[in-house]
Amino acid sequence: MLSTETIQECIVWACEQEVTAPKPGNVNCYGDGHNMKIQDFISSAHAIAPALSKPGLAIGDMILQAIKATRTVVNCNTNLGIVLLFAPLCKAIQNCSQFEQLPSALNSVLQNLTVEDAAACYQAIRLAEPGGMGTSEQQDINDVPTVTLRQAMALAEQEDTIAAQYLNNYHEILHIGLSNLTSAINCGESVEWASALAYLKILSSVPDTLICRKYGLECAREVMENAKQITCKASETNTLQAVEPFLIAWDNELKKKEINPGTTADMTAATLLVYAFEQALS
Q: Could you give the angle at the alpha carbon of 168 between the alpha carbons of 144 and 211, nearest 5°?
A: 70
Q: Is the dihedral of CA 177, 182, 187, 189 positive or negative?
A: positive
Could you tell me if 64 and 124 are in contact, meaning their C-beta atoms sit under 8 angstroms apart? yes
d(CA 184, CA 47): 30
Could you tell me if 20 and 254 are in contact, meaning their C-beta atoms sit under 8 angstroms apart? no
Could you tell me if 110 and 169 are in contact, meaning their C-beta atoms sit under 8 angstroms apart? yes
- 254 three-state secondary structure: helix
With 0-12 / 13-18 / 19 or more C-beta atoms within 10 angstroms meaning exposed / middle / buried, residue 202 is buried
CA distances to 52, 174, 208, 216 from 102, in Å? 16, 10, 26, 35
Amino acid identity of 215?
Answer: Y
d(CA 223, CA 207): 8
d(CA 214, CA 200): 20
Kindly compute the dihedral angle of the four CA atoms of residues 234, 237, 240, 246, in this order, to the nearest 10 degrees: -60
pTM over 0.85: yes
Q: What is the mean pLDDT of residues 78-92?
A: 97
- CATH number for region 4-281: 1.10.4200.10
Q: Per-residue pLDDT tens for 190-206?
A: 999 999 999 999 999 99
d(CA 223, CA 254): 9
Q: Residue ranges per domain, the chain?
A: 4-281
Q: Per-residue pLDDT tens for 99-148?
A: 999 999 999 999 999 999 999 999 999 999 876 555 566 777 888 999 99
CA 193 from centre of chain: 17
CA distances to 168, 196, 252, 267 from 213, in Å? 21, 23, 21, 17
Q: Per-residue pLDDT tens for 233-268?
A: 888 776 777 888 889 999 999 999 999 999 999 999
